[in-house]
Amino acid sequence: MTTIGIILGSTRPGRNGEQVAHWVHERATRRRDAEFEVIDLLDHPLPHLDEPVPALVSGGRYRHEHTRAWSDVIAAYDGYVFVTPEYNHAVPGVLKNAIDHLYPEWNNKAVGFVSYGGTGGTHAVEQLRLICGVLQMADVAPQVALSLHTDFRDHTVLQPSDHHAAVLDMMLTQVITWTTALAPLRTASPVTAA
């Protein structure tokens, strides 16, 4: 069975992302074509990137136990959905740091995006698409962009407009389709962390 990790990309106190990730997960688990789990970065605290060798050239061999543990988590999934806020027109630092700790674990996997913020988090996703391209990930076009002004009551309680559910379903279908199509590439070059 295809496994998709829903990565909650904020650790900020009072974050709206927890509601968003649970909404995505609840909707996703209605499907029968994949299994979905939330990966909360609060559960995987990583220091600022402290590996002496860049992940691109390390071949999945990491010095620190926290990186090896993170590698095991990410390597276990076939594809991802990033749930991200937008901070100052950018990706949250904690999410970028978590991504940068690894390289081969992300390769040849599909990724979709659910973002939120004053402008729907679209600037953060623009950056994530560039980052994912470098990581050899296939990012899908449909994107859920939740506005703090219209999709959250008092900017804090998630109440997504009806059309977001349809976009989410379309995005999940694309992530699963691309994840399945990329499976032979993942089989040809599995991650072997040491």
Residues 166-175 pLDDT 10s: 999 999 999 9
pLDDT at 130 (0 to 100) = 98
pLDDT at 190 (0 to 100) = 63
Identify whether 136 is part of a domain.
yes
The boundaries of the domain holding residue 166 are 3-187
Q: What does each C-alpha distance from 100 to 51, 94, 164 come to in angstroms? A: 10, 10, 29
Distance CA 105, CA 87 (A): 26
pLDDT at 139 (0 to 100) = 98
Q: What is the pLDDT of residues 86-116, one digit of tens each?
A: 999 999 999 999 999 999 999 999 999 999 9
SS3 call for 112: strand
Identify whether 49 is part of a domain.
yes
Identify whether 194 is part of a domain.
no
pLDDT at 188 (0 to 100) = 81
pLDDT at 59 (0 to 100) = 86
Identify whether 161 is part of a domain.
yes
Read off the pTM.
Answer: 0.95
Which residue positions in the chain have pLDDT lower than 70? 190-194
CATH number at residue 122: 3.40.50.360
Identify whether 24 is part of a domain.
yes
Identify whether 84 is part of a domain.
yes
pLDDT at 191 (0 to 100) = 63
Identify whether 193 is part of a domain.
no
| Structural domains counted in the chain | 1
